[in-house]
Amino acid sequence: MRAQRRFRGGRLVAGMAVALPALACIAVLVAWSGIYNVAASRGHFAVVEWFLAFGMRHSVATHAVGISVPRLDDAALVQLGAAHFDRGCAECHGSPASPADPIAQQMLPPPPGLAKSGSRWTEAELFWIVRNGIKYTGMPAWPAIERADEVWAVVAFLHVMPRLGRDGYAAIARRRVAGTPTAAEGCAACHGGGDEPPRSSLVPTLHAQPSKFLATALQDFAAGRRRSGIMQPVAAGLSLEAIDGVATYYSGLARPGRRPSGVATARAANGRKLAFEGLNEKGVPPCLACHGEQALPDYPRLAGQPARYLAARLQRWQQDVPARSPGEALMAPLARRLDATEIDDVAGYFEGLAGSGSQP
C-alpha cells in the first residue's frame, strides 16, 4: 500500500518535472512570437484584470500590517498635504476642482479618482501605497522614501478630500497671494508671500531669509543633497534664473507677524539661554552665532519660524541619517547633542520672535 502511494507521488513529481519546463517554454514562445498585445489602448482580458487587482489588493493589505498611524486629524498636516496633492497627484488622479489630464487617463490601469479611496483602503494601506507606489502601473513611489512625515500629510488630506467641493478644494490646495512674481506663484500655496505667512506650521517662512541661504537650499533640494519628496520636485523644476528670482523676492519681504502657539511663552526663558549662550558642557555654541541677524548670509535665520517646523527638523537630524549637504554636515552634529526638552524650549523661543522688530 505504502509502496504504491510512494509510486503515485513519484509519478506526480516526474509529471511536474516535464510539465513545468514545457509551460515555461510555451510562455517564452508566446512572448517571443509577439502575439500577446501590450497595447494600453486594448485593455486586459477581464480575467487578467481581475487577477491583477486581486493580487494588488492583497499585497497592499499584507505589507501594511504593523504600520502605526499617527493622529491625522491635524490642520497643519491636511493643509500641507492638500497643496502637495494639487501639484503632485491631481494631474493623474484629478481633483474636486479639475479632471485628470486626458493623457494620464490613457494609462493602463488608468489612475482612479481618489474620492472613494478613503473608504476602500485603511489609513495604513493608503500610507503604504503613497510611500511605495505600485509596480507595473504608473503609480510612483515617494521621491524621498525616508520622509514618512510628508507621506502622512498626504494621507491626512486624502481623508478630507471627498468632503470638499470645488471651491473648498481650491481654497485649501490652490492658495494664491496677490502681487507675487510669476516664478514664486506656485510657492505661495505653501510658503505664502507678501505679508502672509505659511498657513501650515510644518512649512518654513521664507520672508526675510538671506537670499544666499534660500538659493543654496533650493540647489541642495534640486541635487538631492537635501531630502524632501515635496521640495525636491519643486526645486528640480526651477532654472538658475528662477532660483535667483524667488530668492531675491522672498529675502526682500518683511517677516510677517505670527501668533505664537503658546509653547513659546512657557519655555522661552530656557530657550533664550540656549540661543545666547549655547551649552558649554555639551559643546554646543550659542545658536545666535550662526542664526542671529548679523550671522553669515549662508545660514538661515530662526526668528519667527513655526516651533513645530524647527523642532521637527532638529528631531530628524537626531535620527542617524547621513548629512549630504555642507550646511547639514555643520548643523546635524549640533542637533544630535540636544535633548527633547532643549529642542522644544529653543524652538518655542525662536517662534516667539515673530514680527520684524523683535529678532536678536
The contact set with ligand HEC (CB under 6 A) reads 56, 80, 83-84, 87-89, 92-93, 104, 107, 109, 111-112, 114, 117, 120, 126, 129-130, 134, 137-140, 154, 184, 186-187, 189-191, 202-204, 206, 214, 217-218, 228, 230-231, 234, 238, 246, 274, 284-285, 287, 289-291, 299-300, 302, 305, 310, 313-314, 325, 327-328, 330-331, 334, 346
Question: Considering beta carbons, is residue 168 or 276 the nearer one to ligand HEC?
Answer: 276
- Whole-angstrom Cα distance, residue 257 to residue 306? 11
Q: How far is the CB of 186 from ligand HEC (least distance, A)?
A: 5
Q: How far is the CB of 234 from ligand HEC (least distance, A)?
A: 4
Q: How far is the CB of 167 from ligand HEC (least distance, A)?
A: 20
Question: Considering beta carbons, is residue 33 or 294 the nearer one to ligand HEC?
Answer: 294
Q: Distance of alpha carbon 129 from its chain centroid, rounded?
A: 13
Question: Considering beta carbons, is residue 20 or 48 the nearer one to ligand HEC?
Answer: 48
Question: Considering beta carbons, is residue 231 or 264 the nearer one to ligand HEC?
Answer: 231
- Biggest CA–CA distance in the chain, Å, is 96
Which residues make Cβ contacts (< 8 Å) with residue 73, sequence separation at least 6? 156
Other C-beta atoms closer than 10 Å to the C-beta of 355 total: 13
Q: How far is the CB of 3 from ligand HEC (least distance, A)?
A: 50
Closest CA to 282 of 347, 342, 324, 326: 342
Question: Considering beta carbons, is residue 197 or 204 the nearer one to ligand HEC?
Answer: 204
Q: How far is the CB of 8 from ligand HEC (least distance, A)?
A: 42
Q: How far is the CB of 271 from ligand HEC (least distance, A)?
A: 8
Separation of first and last alpha carbons in the chain: 93
Q: How far is the CB of 211 from ligand HEC (least distance, A)?
A: 10
Contact 64, 125 (CB under 8 A): yes
Question: Considering beta carbons, is residue 15 or 265 the nearer one to ligand HEC?
Answer: 265
Grid coordinates belonging to 259 = 501668533
Residue nearest to ligand HEC (CB): 327
Question: Considering beta carbons, is residue 187 or 354 the nearer one to ligand HEC?
Answer: 187
Question: Considering beta carbons, is residue 18 or 103 the nearer one to ligand HEC?
Answer: 103
Contact 332, 226 (CB under 8 A): no
Length of the chain: 360
Handedness of CA 199, 200, 203, 209 (dihedral sign): positive
Grid coordinates belonging to 98 = 479639475
State yes or no: cis peptide before 110, omega within 30 of 0.
Answer: no
Q: How far is the CB of 111 from ligand HEC (least distance, A)?
A: 4
Closest CA to 81 of 140, 191, 156: 156
Question: Considering beta carbons, is residue 35 or 178 the nearer one to ligand HEC?
Answer: 178
Q: How far is the CB of 179 from ligand HEC (least distance, A)?
A: 15
Question: Considering beta carbons, is residue 1 or 38 the nearer one to ligand HEC?
Answer: 38
Closest CA to 265 of 343, 352, 341: 352
Q: How far is the CB of 35 from ligand HEC (least distance, A)?
A: 25
Q: Distance of alpha carbon 57 from its chain centroid, rounded?
A: 24
Contact 360, 293 (CB under 8 A): yes
- Whole-angstrom Cα distance, residue 191 to residue 357? 21
Contact 254, 207 (CB under 8 A): yes
- Whole-angstrom Cα distance, residue 146 to residue 160? 24
